[in-house]
Amino acid sequence: MKLGVIVNEERPAALAFADRLLTAAGRRGLAVVTEGEAVPGDDWRGEQVDVVIAVGGDGTVLRATQRALELDVPVLGFNLGTVGFLAEAEPEDLESVLDRLAEGAIRVIPRMTLEATTSEGVVGYGVNDVVIEKIESQRLVALDVTIDGSEFLTYRADGVVIATPTGSTAYSFSAGGPLIDPEIEAISVTAVAPHALFDRTIVLAPSARLRCRVVADRPVQVSVDGRALGHLGADGWVDVRRASRAVGFVTFDHETFPRRVRDRLGLGNAG
């Protein structure tokens, strides 16, 4: 088995862990390729791997999912960040995780992804969310949202977050959206700081097709999983729909979503 490792090189702890990972993988006969000058090992030059491993926080896992989608292989995250909703394993799990990889004893759970296409012809794919938000800090934007070809609502807000259940724990949650079990397939739409009476998230079927059009002369920026797709002016739009291909997440001991929420957010029992 060959592992492709992506590391958050800005975190010394992640770099140190990556060094441990390479040594431990070698003892088990696992081939490893890596990205970045700060990470030792064979340079990853685009060849096929069996699993993409992310070492860092959720941002690193999101970066790894892009490579996993390109290669049509699963992703596995080690949590060297702060919250780590997307990571399957902790640093102390290294030896047991590598043992199971060497044995081929892994299970892969597919998670839906989103495809975003702008009026400028730029296309992006993500497992978390598509965000359309203001550029000018003191001015709201106006976004006309159409769902399955029917007008829904014009949002006057700081922006709109269109998220998968996986992404419901990220920006959407910070904006007041619900936490959605990633085993459910759905698309949620949450306004960021809306200036309107309607300020609730709407959760849609995974087949829903959305268009967000800029209806005022206040430009917006569009991003997918934190990667910029560009800016849009008046009458510019972005179409969002479920992408044709899911991304696989490696899992070992199945942890329920409520348990993960409780542990990652440090929630204790009431009373």
Q: Which residues are catalytic?
A: 58
CB neighbourhood size of 23 (10 A): 12
CB neighbourhood size of 125 (10 A): 20
Dihedral pair phi/psi, residue 196, rounded to 5°: -165, 160
- Nearest residue to 80 via CA among 99, 103, 98, 53: 53
Dihedral pair phi/psi, residue 21, rounded to 5°: -60, -45
Query: How does DSSP assign 161-229, residue by residue?
Result: EEE-TGGGGTHHHHTTPPP--TTS--EEEEEES-SSS----EEE-TT--EEEEE-SS--EEEEETTEEE
Distance CA 215, CA 233 (A): 9
Q: Residue 30 in contact with residue 1, Cβ under 8 Å?
A: yes
- How far the first Cα of the chain sits from its last, in Å, is 49
